Amino acid sequence: MLLRGNHEDKNVNKYLGFADECTKRLGEDTNDPNSVFAKINEAFESMPLAAIISDKQQRIFCCHGGIGPTIQDIEGIEAIQRPFEIKLGVDHSDNHQKVLDLLWSDPHETDEESGFQHNYARDP
């Protein structure tokens, strides 16, 4: 199973050069809703945000970023409807913040740090 990460967002992958690559290689207008760029990003918006791998002995929770302060339980993640478009600075809903937490709540760089710290690159 593939999980959605923070690069599976049209604004992020456009900034990082995916739209330019589609324009150069395919000669397309990436603003066209029928472009390869648009269709791939539609697929990204439908990808699962998290998964649980389970056997008789254990359950492993998987997501790209981590568990941010808005993630309280699995049911809250399951309730997020897809496709889901990230709208930074526009959408302030609980579900939007949960998606951002799952995609961008990276662990601390050292074991000496603990707790939650805001990601000012994502949430200025």
Helix then strand then coil, % of the chain, to nearest 5: 35, 10, 60
- 7 is a catalytic site residue: yes
Identify the active-site residue in 7, 92, 96, 118.
7
Instruction: Decide: helix, strand or coil at residue 53.
Output: strand
DSSP letter, residue 46: H
Our separate counts of H helices and E strands in the chain read 5, 2
Which residues are identified as catalytic? 7
